[in-house]
Structure 1
Amino acid sequence: MARNPQNGERLRPVDLARGHGLSTQAIRNYEEAGILPAADRTPHGYRTYTSLHAGALRAFLALVPGHGHQTATSMMRAVNEGAADEALRLIDESHAQLLDDRRTLQAVESALRDLEPTPASGPDAGPEPAAASEAGGTFIGPLAGKLGIRPATLRKWERAGLVCPRRDPVTGYRVYHEADVRDARLAHQLRRGGYLLEQIAPLLAQVRAAGGLEPLEGALRDWHGRLSARGRAMLTGAAELEAYLHARG
């Protein structure tokens, strides 16, 4: 449990460190990074901290879960340099990103509710033909255009196992049938949601093996949970940062 020192109480690096399960080196690193204001020194050169430093540490550690280490560092450095408005701007950016992530999640859920085969387009994209295969399905150019990505991205996804198009028996070109289009659309949305290729591949393999989308339900619940946790962490971080700003005067 972190200590709550009284104003004027002098603290050693170890006093700050113990309350948060940190090392004394971490405290020194935080000071050097500008996360903590500069410490006073004893006549023998030892660092001494105060309740203000303790408040800065609490604020930083509360900001990290919602904003990430790098952004939280930039926020604290801005405050300690007297640029509180810059810290507030960074907070605004994080909230905007969280809102965008929520919208992406909604888009994924919408895609799951309304997965339709992508119709063949006219001759408008890519080095491969833009018409549909004689056996049905869509070639790579029209599908890439429909998703707003490059054909090279679809080829990369194929190498990673995200999509598994068949080849036209006459031309040898890739042909994306209904299930392939579904997989490509889901891969596109999950990539936007921050999932890595190596996370998406086994998920889509389960979808193909199960013949449906049930395996995605767990991923979406986890995604909802992570967004909610970030939102709550941002509230906690904002409260601690406000307390620190008030203490600085």
Structure 2
Amino acid sequence: MRPIDLAREHGLSAQAIRNYDDAGVLPPTERSDSGYRRYTPLHAQALRAFLAVRRGHGHQRAVEIMRAINDGEPESAYRLIDAAHIALVTERDTRTKVATALSALSTGAPTPIHGPPLTVGELARRLGVHAATLRTWEAEGILHPARDHATGYREYGPDSVRDAEIVKQLRRGGYPLRQVAQFLDALREAGSTDALTAFLDAWQHRLSTRSREFLTGAAQLDNYLTMLEQN
């Protein structure tokens, strides 16, 4: 088969096939006397496996997995795959913890503050973070503490404390500050229940989709490994 023959199945260009070949995604390729690359059903399956694995693992990791297999180092590929599954399990656990924490926060379960608003130091101790972290969250437009009219010091009332609790949980879940700010804005605008449900549902959908992509990639990769063993 020619590069274009492999490319047609996936709507790719012949140059893309040559690039994947040069990157080590495909097994070693023979060339004709005139220098043209010759591909076989084994190469076609390698390409299917790579494209399927890429959906779940991302481009660079998929390249590394295929290159390791084609270099005769399947154990290295398995370690890469295992690491991705471990990371997904960890994210699932984090999502569960965030869901529990945010559900509690949305119903007012956290211990409310009593007396005057908290200072930046008091809120930092409550959350177990540095005061500088709270100032960073404020600079990013995530927290909006009031100011004491006489001293100019920050004052964190119940709403600011609740927002800070949410930010802590989202940051623990690996969300960048930009996304945290967007979520809190949506939470404030749409109301806690609707925004919270949409946020958690979207996260769960993403996790479920990635799990399915892992399965699809694994099936195609297993077919490729079987063909390699029989080749």
TM range (shorter): 0.7 to 0.9
Contact 1:74 1:87 in 2 (8 A): yes
Percentage of matched positions with identical amino acids: 51
Does 2:24 match 1:34?
yes
Alpha-carbon distance in structure 2 between the residues aligned to 1:180 and 1:117: 14
Change (3 A) 1:59 1:150: farther
Asked if residue 168 in structure 1 is aligned to residue 153 in structure 2, the reply is no
- Letter of the 1:102 partner, please give it: R
Deviation track 1:32-64 (CA, whole Å, cap 9, x = no partner) reads: 111112211111111111111111111111111
Please, which moves more after superposition, 203-212 or 28-37?
Answer: 203-212
Deviation at 1:194, TM superposition (A): 4.4
Asked if the contact 1:17/1:23 (under 8 Å) is kept, the reply is: yes
For 1:118 and 1:49, locate their aligned partners in 2 and report how far apart those are by CA, in whole Å: 67
Mapped partners of 1:22, 1:118: distance in 2: 58
Matched ranges for 1:120-135 at <5 A:
none
Amino acid at match of 1:44: S
Partner of 2:214: 234
Conserved in 2, the CA contact under 8 Å of 1:35 and 1:56?
yes
Change (3 A) 1:114 1:87: same
C-alpha contact (below 8 Å) 1:166/1:175 kept by paired residues: yes
TM-score of the two chains, using structure 2 as the length reference? 0.88
Match runs of 1:1-249 below 5 Å:
11-115=1-105, 116-117=110-111, 136-210=116-190, 212-249=192-229
1:175 Cα offset (Å): 2.3
Cα displacement (A) at 1:234: 0.5
Shift of the 49–211 alpha-carbon distance from structure 1 to 2, 3 Å rule, reads closer
Shift of 1:155: 2.1
SS in 2 for 1:172: coil
Q: Determine the C-alpha separation between the residues in 2 that align with 1:55 and 1:202.
A: 42
Change (3 A) 1:44 1:198: same
In the TM superposition, what is the alpha-carbon distance from 1:213 to its structure 2 partner? 4.1
Aligned-partner residue type, residue 215 of structure 2: L
- State how far apart, in whole Å, the 2-side matches of 1:45 and 1:210 are: 63
**Equivalents in 1 of 2:94, 2:138: separation in Å?**
23
Question: 1:53 and 1:210, CA in 2 relative to 1: closer, same or farther beyond 3 A?
Answer: closer
Deviations 1:189-226 (A, max 9, x none): 33344444333323312322455343121111111000
The residue type equivalent to 2:38 in the other structure is: T
Matched-pair contact (CA < 8 Å) for 2:113–2:158 = no
Give TM-score scaled by structure 1 length.
0.82
Q: Secondary structure at the match of 2:194?
A: coil
Question: Match for 2:37: what amino acid?
Answer: R
Contact 2:147-2:154 at 8 Å conserved across structures: yes
The farther-off stretch of 212-221 and 12-21 is 212-221
Name which of structure 1's ranges 213-222 and 197-206 shifts more when overlaid on structure 2. 197-206
After TM superposition, give the deviation of residue 142 of structure 1 in Å.
4.1
Q: CA deviation at 1:143?
A: 3.2
CA distance in 1, matches of 2:126, 2:217: 40
What CA distance in whole angstroms lies between the structure 1 residues aligned with 2:125 and 2:14? 54
- Please list every run of 5 or more consecutive structure 2 residues that lacks an aligned counterpart in the other structure: none
CA distance in 1: counterparts of 2:62 and 2:17, whole angstroms? 15
The total of aligned residue pairs comes to 225
CA distance in 1, matches of 2:32, 2:125: 66
CA shift in 2, pair 1:146/1:231, >3 Å: farther
What's the CA shift for 1:81? Answer: 0.7
